[in-house]
A and B are shown apart, each in its own frame.
Chain A
Amino acid sequence: MKNSKNVIIILAVIFITGMFTKACGDEFLTRPAMGSLSEDVVADRNGVETLLIGAYGALSQTGNQGWGDGLPGDGAWAVCPSNWLYGSVLGTEAHKGSDAGDQPQMNTLGGMNVSPSTGFINLKWRGLYEGIARANSVLSVLPDVPISEGVFSEADKARIEAEARFLRGHFYFELKRFYNNVPWIDETVDALTPQPNDQDIWPNIEADFQFAYNNLPAVQGHAGRPNSWAAASYLAKTYMYQQKFSEAKALYDQIIPNGNTSNGLAYDLVPLDQVHNPVNKNNAESVFAIQASADDGTGTIQNANPGMMLNYPYNSPFRCCGFYQPTLYLVNSFQTVDGKPLINDFLSTPVKNDLGVLSSENFEPYGGALDPRLDWTVGRRGVPFHDWGPHPGQRWVRDQAYSGPYASKKHIWWQKDDQDVNNPSQWAPGTSYNIPIIRFADVLLMAAEAEIETGNLSQALQYINRVRERAADESAWVKNEFNRGYAFEIVNSEAEMLALEPTSGSWVVREDTGTTFVYLGGGATDITNWNEYSEPNYNIALYDDLGNQQQAREIVRFERKLELALEGHRYFDMVRWGVAEEEINEYMDYEGDFFPASYINEGQFTPNKNEYFPIPQRQIDLSTVGGTPALQQNTGY
């Protein structure tokens, strides 16, 4: 009995001592984080450079693809930095595409029915602020990196700061024109605490670009980094969005004659067939572009424009997914009379199209005069789709009756370059096409606008004509010979052609007629089973004068449409000019008649509301502390 008591006491003492001894096992329990670095490890020269690359990595705005379940990095198409959805689909240039049931949130957006809880606008918000957070990481680590001669100079430090601020300026520029009222978070602000969106951040954006302009070199070691001229161009664009035309003009007066690209090419317009060609990227026209790589060795398309992955003809060599189909409204804009666009009358005599015509049926393309830029912008039946053959029409379209007959084309690569610029590793294609944020034609047309607004129409005329002159260069027009490369056969006579054994859809180039024939099926020996396509009728001329200031405005705005179509600008331009209500509702009225089942038919632009997207409800909820949200909703929502 006594023995037992002693046992209990001894055990209890051991136990209680152990229970309150922190030391026991502490070493055993200290386990490092695996596969990551702590902040002090990245706070050196190499670390800050690598953080800076990480900030560039945010430009493409994508991590993994998904169905937009609100997880970080999901919904590549919701956050695509080309703004194809927000700038072009919402901006009258393209249908969402595919069929009615696919990506219904895009229908909501396209019909101007966006609500604060539409998931896409939350993804866009999160993606842009991630870019800002990465730029801020660079800026907060940078002061800790010691200056040491020959290793890390003040100039290095200034350049890194300037690049980071340029990138931050870019992300904020997007936020500003999207949501208008957004909180400014820089490296000095606590990002974990909700911040209000009650300040106009244009001055902050200007300050970032101004710093970048002052501190970036004119030539960079890497083509993907912005230089001082890119910063100047973005600063000027920032002025344009604020109607600060004389400030913008002053910059353009410097940029246009003196500017050069980051890789040292004097700014210039390149031939029409080279502007968007990924094998000729970072050319003289590229002011600032988001770099992409198809052949990056990752086995994914994450660095190869994942946000554009849906935007290729369906049932085609591109496989997926039939989104982003240009509108009749856009195509009609490319009609010309005497080489000039029908700025106020382009809807009265529409361009003929193949709506409702099967690919196996004969179709005679539109024969009227067109701006040659149309066929570098839009894929349409019978016109060479680069060297992929004449666009077959309905066969490459998922639901023609819903989204029209056309395909968008600027991001399409050539078949001959397929090995170099296409990444086929996933269910939809990737490409090394660079997304142009600012290109020199855009600079010239913005400069023209600034000149018009400041009253100098003759300088504006020069700028506009410079853009049109490039388009007028016949040597870079779409040509029948594009069909030769992958033709089923090149023949010299009809007899020779009728003796072939093609499968339906095969195309044959005829030397004798200078045209291309597509076999429609039903018997190759019968000439009626062949559809003949000749080169379209292009006609473009320079302006002699711009008329009065109002006419000049209309000309330059229409010229932007023709030159920059499907590059994600139009919606923001229309809002900036204050014409969005008029133009978008005109478009919806017109286009809706052709597509009764589309969201367009019921769509409506509401002034004092649709100029900006709503602040995502999720973000308002997350900013709520003690029942009071730090973020205020935009008007109209």
Chain B
Amino acid sequence: MKIKVDNSFLEMPLRFLTKVGMSMYLVLFLCSVVNAQDIQTVHEVSGTVTDASDGETLLGVNIMVVGTTTGTTTDMEGNYSLSVPSTDSQLRFSFIGYQPVVVNVEGRSTIDVEMEISAILGEDIVVTGYSAQRRIDLTGSISVADVPQMQKIAESSVSRQLQGQVSGVTVSQSGQPGDEPSVRIRGIGNFGNVSPLYVVDGVPTSSIGDLNPRDVESLQVLKDASAASIYGARASNGVIIITTKQGRPGLRVSFDSYVGYETPKHHGNAFNIASPMEMAELEWLAYNNSGLTPSSSLYGDGTTPQLPDYIAPAGAMEGEVNHDDYYVNPYYTNTGDLGNFYRITRANKQGTNWFQEIFKPAYTVNSNLAISGGTDDASYMLSLNYINQEGTLLRTYNERYTLRVNTQFNLNENIRIGQNASIAVWENPQSGSLDQGTATGMVFRQQPIIPVYDIAGNFAGNFGAPLGNASNPVAQRERTMNNTGENNRIFGNVFAEIDFLESVTFRSNFGGSYATSNWSWFQFPEYENAENAVVNLYGDGAWNGTNWTWTNTVTYTDLLADVHNITVLLGTEANEDTGRERGGTRTDYFSFNPNYVNLSNGAGDPTNYSWQYENALFSIFGRAEYNYDNRYLLNATVRRDGSSRFLDNRYGLFPSGSIGWRISEEAFMRDVNWLTNLQLRAGYGVMGNQLNVASDNAYSLFGGNQLSTFYPITGGPTIFQGFAQTRIGNPGARWEESHTMNIGVNTMLFDGALEIDMDFYKNDVRDLLFNPELPGQAGLASQPYVNVGNVENKGLDMSITGRRDISQDFNINATVNFTTYSNEVVKIAEGVDNFDGTSRRFGSGNPIVRNQVGWPISTFFGYKIEGFWNEQSEIDQANASAGGVYQEEAAPGRFRYADVNGDGRITADDRTRLGDPHPDFTYGLDLTVNYKSFDVSAFFYGSQGNDIWNQVKWWTDFYPSFQGAKSKTALYNSWTPDNHDAKAPIQENAGSTATNLVPNSYYVEDGSYLRLRTIQVGYTFTPDMLSYVGLNRLRVYVQAQNLFTITNYSGPDPEVGNTQSANASTTSFGVDEGTYPASRQFLFGFNLGF
């Protein structure tokens, strides 16, 4: 028999289905089968089983008479009745996810039982790839997040909440609302996209930014090959499996809400920027140091500078300016008009604090309504979430509505169907960051003497005065006011499960997403800058994408001879990802009113563009699990994937195997009472990755565009179509492969009072897809991706949980998650042992970031500073022993670089590794204390040993690095003949390679920090207090986020975050050029249950 996928059958109806928004399923299957047998009736027992935590009745609890095969299950109301052989029988109550309870009948006829959720004993079910396993049966490395704890962090997205919550996962994020963080599982394993695969209710996806965190029931991270390689070709960056909440019998209504107030963390001078007078003094200092006579149209030409009253007209004093001459039309439509403007701007002699001008307090609200319920045969869960998180940076926010509907139906004993669907609609205007051209960059570039507004209330800038070419960040942000952006995403699945042949379950799951975005922006003309954008321009664009996955699995589960637990799973999966985008711009609008402006009514030339993409995957996979007597565990998986991105090597095979040994179950350990569980695990396997290859990599292609291949061949204004080769094809590319070895140990002591899980791993990532630069003679067509690179990650993940019940109503829980990895580039390409990342203003040939064989990915690179040249005699001496020039451009007060290669002079070969952004370790510490009705929890997150390249200092600490704002360090703590113990070098008029023109160790700082991410104090009202108002549950809490951060980093936030580009991890990881810092937040919230 051949498994055939018929394209036409798949595409039409199923695409239609996704588009109308069907979805989902949840993986809670594996219902236990109970064989009730008739036995001689001796004694009748009945009762109710409830959840000890909330008193809700439990349906389907398994009740067995110990030592017999007699048993029953609880009904919808949690009631049961049972005949037991004698009055001194023992009953064993068991239920998935709860601790089993054994009760002596002792002649009673009514026995009510409360069951505790079994967080402790490993009986809880963990959703793994395409199935679910008891936690104690796991042989792969899987971290299970404590979801209730995670949800205490007031963030709009699950990945932001994930930071520090599970070991092995490193999350770095910015303070920008809605900015999806970079999530890395066990280091960085390739040169491009390192994002994990998310699987939500069985549907693989690359994006979970729109998932309502309140809908999450469970989250687990598959970290090693034996856990993740069932996801084959997409597993090598790790897999995060999320299941959403399902209804349970009985109606539950909950309403949760909080309001928050955020304040920007820096109230002072975030970048230590000099005052206007200090700026002028610095200019004088630099000129004098360079042997020049200072003179400025702003500050005069005396021996000491004078601050002018006006910066426009430059340098004017009070009385010299006739305010009637003022003429600025901020909404000018004729670019020629700009030349007629007469700007009058008073100097802000106190200095404008640009950081405080664009970072303001902001508010957050978040409300969530959830209704769930069901019967024996049907259940539903409906939730509605609204979040509006304003950013502290002007005109940034994340406003989102999410609606979720999950349902399940048992059609009969053997057939179950269900769906999960969420619809999210959101607006999330963001500001760029980590780049000098953005508003956060202008904060440290725009000079403080420039006020926000000129005398007429229009924006002030640097026009006409020698104040550099930065722009007014307030203007930059305010000019986004007519921009729009709306995103919609429907994500979900439908599934059917059929049991047959007693122990076989067939499951078909179809799911995916249909998403659209549309956006528009209006570029206002500028008038206040030295370099103005003068056209008014409107742009409009839209994207839509469909991504569907159809999975079919067959699972066979059996227990043979009481000791052989066997599970076999086989499946196929098809995936298609398609989308297109189109957009256009137009200039020259008669009015800037957003109600008027559209693409049709501009007077200038319209431009437009569009592009589309299409990718497909088809896979077959299988897994076998074997468990002998709960002691010896074996697990094997294999997956074969085919990808449309490859041509000659289209298919890849990804096997894995793992073993586990529960030592604590062995007879010889039975008497060791303090050891509740001890389990060893080991696994090895292969995972794949195909994200780092262009869809059309296999083909040599030609094409062209108006900007680089068209030409006005007639001499007139019209450009004519031209083509060039755009891509050099490599039909032979194949999968990246991560070969992973994992050894783990799970330990539980003192009945769960202390739990330690530890994993050691080594990932050998081979055949990395990389597009090595070709010789220039090959032209600029895109180089093909070839399988050349090799990266190794090693590390240790550990989590420790301690619980202590001090008294009945006083308990303490603490969890530490500890993550460490070390990363090394083993190979890049034949003959290529490095490639470079960003170089910022140092220019090409002077990279800040180098990826070099033998070093970690994204290592900081440059000259190592030994100190200053303090005397000319030192330089002369060095030159004499070098027999020439020891160091180019050496001069007193400039940096003395280390002769790393020891050849007696400073050359480009002395550039070396100056640090790297990889932390030695990161850790999360969760502390929870419950006392009577009060609960207090605190979550700390820390990162240790990571370096930051503080590129901000290039702008602020060196006078010649572009005109703009400078720091007090440059003025007061720079080298002078009298101050050799300085921080910054001598301030001069011109740059040099011995100061600011090449990357050097001046910029590298320790980025370690410890942050109190959140602290929460809650109070739960007792049921008798609530009975008056008809509530089941009411908890109120106050919370503070990011209350303090302990760090030596000099920038506003050591958590630098990342830029969104897919290959940021190899180009600009850890480079700070103006972050959007995390803000301090105070929240008040409540949880209501009806």
Which residues 1-49 of B have a CB within 8 angstroms of A? 1-5, 7, 10
Q: How far is the CB of A121 from chain B (nearest CB, A)?
A: 9
Q: How far is the CB of A131 from chain B (nearest CB, A)?
A: 9
Q: Which residues of A contact B716 (CB under 8 A)?
A: 293
Q: CB-CB < 8 A to A126: which residues of B? A: 776, 780
Asked if B464 contacts A315 (CB within 8 A), the reply is yes
**Known contacts A133-B725, A596-B291: A119-B554 contact under CB 8 Å:** no
Are B989 and A68 in contact, with the CB atoms below 8 A?
no
The interface bits of chain B over 761-788 (1 if a CB of A lies within 8 angstroms of the residue's CB, else 0) are 0000000000001111111110000000
A401 engages B774 (CB within 8 Å): no
Query: Is B613 on the interface with A (CB-CB < 8 A)?
Result: yes
B709 is contacted by which of A57, A225, A428 (Cβ under 8 Å)? Answer: A57
Find the B residue at minimum CB distance from A141.
B702
Taking CB atoms and an 8 Å cut-off, the chain B residues in 600-654 that contact chain A are 604-607, 611-618, 620, 622, 638, 640, 642-644, 650-651, 653
Name the one of A303, A418, A521, A616 contacting B719, with C-beta atoms under 8 angstroms. Answer: A303
**CB contact between B701 and one of A17, A38, A67, A117 (< 8 Å): that residue:** A38
A613 and B547 CA atoms in complex are apart in Å by 52
Q: B713–A36 contact, CB under 8 A? A: no
A299 to B501, CA, bound (A): 68
CA distance A125 to B469 in the complex (A): 30
Partner of A22, one of B585, B651, B776, B991: B651
Q: Is the CB of B990 within 8 A of A597?
A: yes
Secondary structure of the B contact surface, majority rule: loop
Q: With an 8 A cutoff between CB atoms, is B148 at the interface?
A: no
In the assembled complex, how far is the CB of residue A293 from the closest CB belonging to chain B, in whole angstroms?
4
B840 within 8 A of A: yes
User: Are B990 and A123 touching (Cβ within 8 A)?
Assistant: no
Residue of A nearest to B712 (CB): A293
Set of chain B residues within 8 Å of A15, measured between Cβ atoms: 570, 620, 622
Cβ–Cβ < 8 Å partners of A60 in chain B: 711
Docked complex Cα distance between A468 and B1079 (Å): 70
Query: When chains A and B are docked, how far (Å) is the Cα of A68 from the Cα of B838?
Result: 10
Q: Which of A56, A101, A225 has the most CB of B within 10 A?
A: A101
* Complex contact B612–A35 (CB within 8 A): yes
Contact flag A104-B843 (CB < 8 Å), given A53-B722, A426-B533: yes
Stretch at the interface among A1-9, A205-213, A436-444: A1-9
Partner of B640, one of A11, A19, A101, A103: A19
Decide: A70 and B836 in contact? CB cutoff 8 A. yes
Question: 1/0 per residue A611-631: CB within 8 Å of B?
Answer: 000001111011111100000
Is the beta-carbon distance between A300 and B707 smaller than 8 angstroms? Answer: yes
List the one stretch of A379-387, A392-400, A548-556, A583-591 in contact with chain B.
A392-400
CB distance from A194 to the nearest CB of B (A): 5
Q: CB distance A296 to B712 under 8 Å?
A: yes
Counting CB contacts under 8 A, is B413 at the interface?
no
Does A150 belong to the interface (CB within 8 Å)?
no
Query: In this complex, what residue of B is CB-closest to A197?
Result: B777
Interface residues of B in 259-313 (CB under 8 A from A): 290-292, 295, 297, 313
With A and B bound together, what is the CA distance between A194 and B706 in angstroms?
A: 31
The smallest C-beta distance from B282 to any residue of chain A, in angstroms, reads: 14
Closest B residue, CB atoms, query A289: B715
Q: Mark B325-365, 1 if CB is under 8 A from A, else 0.
A: 10000000001101100100000000000000000000000
**B476 vs chain A, min Cβ distance (A):** 13
Asked whether B997 is an interface residue with its Cβ less than 8 Å from the other chain, the reply is yes
B530 adjacent to A8 (CB under 8 Å): no
Query: Hey, which chain B residues are within 8 Å of A3, CB to CB?
Result: 501-502
* In-complex Cβ contact of A119 among B726, B830, B845 (8 A): B845
Q: Does B1037 contact A (CB under 8 A)?
A: no
A24–B711 touching, CB < 8 Å = no
B585 neighbours in A (Cβ, 8 Å) = 299
Chain B residue numbers with a CB within 8 Å of A74 are 844
Contact B702 A51 (CB under 8 A): yes
Residues of B within 8 A of A107 (CB): 990-991
Contacts of B335 in A (CB 8 A): 424
Q: How far is the CA of A24 from the CA of B573 in the complex (A)?
A: 12
| Residues of A close to B723: CB separation below 8 A | 37, 42, 47, 50-51, 53-54
In the complex, identify which listed stretch (B170-178, B236-244, B876-884, B955-963) lies at the interface while the others stay far away: B955-963
Whether A137 and B724, one on each chain, are in contact in the complex, defined by CB atoms closer than 8 angstroms, is: yes
**A214 adjacent to chain B (CB < 8 Å):** no
The answer on a CB contact under 8 Å between A291 and B777 is no
- Answer whether residue A69 sits at the interface, using C-beta atoms and an 8 A cutoff: yes
With a cutoff of 8 Å between Cβ atoms, the chain A residues found around residue B704 in the complex are 50, 54, 57
Which chain B residues border A14 with CB–CB below 8 Å? Answer: 1, 3, 570
Choose one: B336, B502, B504, B607; the contact of A297 (CB below 8 Å). Answer: B607
A299 touches B607 (CB 8 A): yes
**CB-based contact B464/A192 at 8 Å:** no
CB of B386 within 8 Å of the partner chain: no
Chain B residue at smallest Cβ distance from A601: B990
Say which one of B126-134, B692-700, B864-872, B1054-1062 lies at the interface with A. Answer: B692-700
- Partner of B845 from the list A122, A521, A522, A622 (CB cut-off 8 Å) is A122
Interface residues of A in 328-352 (CB under 8 A from B): none
B residues 502-538 touching A (CB-CB < 8 Å): 502-504, 530-535, 537
Q: In the complex, A22 Cα to B648 Cα: how many Å?
A: 12
- Supposing A192-B778, A299-B537 touch, asked if A57 and B843 sit within 8 A by C-beta, the answer is no
Measured between C-beta atoms, what is the minimum distance from B587 to chain A in Å?
7
The interface bits of chain B over 540-557 (1 if a CB of A lies within 8 angstroms of the residue's CB, else 0) are: 000000000000001010
- A4 touches which one: B554, B558, B840, B990 (CB < 8 A)? B558
A103–B718 Cα distance when bound, in Å, is 33
Task: State whether B574 touches A25 (Cβ < 8 A).
Answer: yes
Q: Which of B504, B708, B719 is close to A73, meaning CB atoms less than 8 Å apart?
A: B708
* Shortest Cβ gap from B944 to chain A (Å): 31
Flag whether A298 is at the interface (Cβ < 8 A).
yes
CA distance A119 to B297 in the complex (A): 35
Knowing A33-B701, A395-B464 touch, does A104 contact B991 (C-beta < 8 A)?
yes
Bound Cα distance from A295 to B587, whole angstroms: 13
A117 to B2 alpha-carbon distance, docked (Å): 59
Chain B proximity of A39: nearest CB distance (Å)? 6
CB distance from B614 to the nearest CB of A (A): 5
- CB <8 Å contact, A399 and B2: no
Interface flag for B560 (CB, 8 Å): yes
Within 8 Å of chain B (Cβ to Cβ): is A499? no
Task: Tell me whether A132 and B991 are in contact in the complex, defined as CB-CB below 8 angstroms, given that A51-B702, A53-B709 are known contacts.
Answer: no
User: Could you give, for residues 264-277 of chain A, a 1 whenever the CB lies within 8 Å of some chain B CB and a 0 otherwise?
Assistant: 00000000000000
Chain A to chain B: the 9 pairs with minimum beta-carbon distance, closest first: A119-B844, A133-B779, A25-B618, A53-B722, A54-B722, A33-B696, A223-B715, A119-B845, A36-B701
**15 A–B pairs (Cβ distance < 8 Å), ordered by A:** A4-B556, A24-B3, A29-B642, A36-B727, A37-B723, A64-B707, A104-B843, A104-B997, A105-B843, A113-B888, A122-B844, A263-B715, A426-B533, A521-B320, A622-B773
Interface residues of B (CB under 8 A from A): 1-5, 7, 10, 290-292, 295, 297, 313, 320, 325, 335-336, 338-339, 342, 463-464, 466, 469, 501-504, 530-535, 537, 554, 556, 558, 560, 566, 568, 570, 572, 574, 576, 585, 587, 604-607, 611-618, 620, 622, 638, 640, 642-644, 650-651, 653, 695-696, 699-704, 706-728, 773-781, 830-832, 836, 838-841, 843-846, 888, 908, 960-963, 989-991, 996-997
Interface contacts beyond A105-B843, A123-B844, A623-B775: sample of 15 additional A-B pairs, CB < 8 Å, sorted by A = A4-B566, A14-B570, A18-B620, A25-B574, A27-B7, A50-B704, A129-B776, A225-B713, A297-B706, A299-B585, A315-B530, A319-B532, A596-B291, A619-B775, A625-B831
Using CB atoms and an 8 Å cutoff, list the residues of chain A in contact with chain B.
1, 3-4, 7-8, 11, 13-15, 17-19, 21-39, 41-42, 47, 50-60, 62-64, 67-70, 72-75, 99-105, 107, 113, 115, 117-120, 122-123, 125-127, 129-130, 132-134, 137, 183, 185, 191-192, 194-195, 222-225, 263, 281-282, 291-300, 302-303, 314-315, 317, 319-321, 356, 358, 394-395, 398-399, 401-402, 418, 424-428, 432, 434, 503-504, 521-522, 596-599, 616-619, 621-626
